[in-house]
């Protein structure tokens, strides 16, 4: 309710995902979608000399996010998942 009365820009993509993810009428939220997208990119991406750093960042962040996700700590997983997705898009 505070967001409606005092709207402020989201600090980062993770905060935005967590906000929409918390809406009670969403069975799967944007965070679930970003997780799925990052996983799909990881499966499809081909590592080469020109994208080695991005692929490494994708894999590291996704692994850390998955580790926290399995502990039911979605809020802690969000920054890793968002970073993995972003690195995948750049790779």
80 with 61: CB under 8 angstroms? Answer: yes
19-61 pLDDT per residue, tens:
887 876 667 778 888 999 999 998 888 878 888 889 999 999 9
User: For residue 58, is it within any domain?
Assistant: yes
11 falls within a domain: no
Question: What pLDDT sits at residue 20?
Answer: 82
Asked whether residue 33 is domain-assigned, the answer is yes
Domain count of the fold of the chain: 1
Identify the domain containing residue 44 by its residue range: 28-90
> Does any domain span residue 83?
yes
- Report pLDDT for 48: 84
Q: What is the pTM of this model?
A: 0.69
Please indicate, yes or no, if residue 66 is contained in any of the structural domains.
yes
Do the domain assignments include residue 15? no
Q: What percent of the chain has pLDDT over 90?
A: 43
Residue 82 lies in a domain: yes
Confidence of residue 81 (pLDDT cuts 50, 70, 90): very high
Is 63 in contact with 23 (CB distance < 8 Å)? no
The answer as to whether 16 is a domain residue is no
pLDDT for the residue 59: 94
Q: Calculate Rg over the CA atoms of the chain.
A: 14
């Amino acid at each position: 309710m505070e967001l409606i009365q005092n709207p402020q820009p989201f600090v980062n993509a993770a905060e935005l995902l967590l906000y929409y993810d918390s809406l009670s009428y969403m069975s799967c939220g944007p965070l679930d979608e970003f997780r799925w997208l990052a996983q799909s990119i990881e499966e499809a991406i081909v590592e080469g000399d020109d994208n080695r750093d991005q692929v490494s960042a994708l894999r590291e962040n996704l692994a850390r996010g998955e580790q926290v996700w399995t502990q039911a700590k979605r809020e802690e997983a969000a920054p890793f998942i968002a970073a993995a997705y972003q690195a995948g898009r750049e790779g």
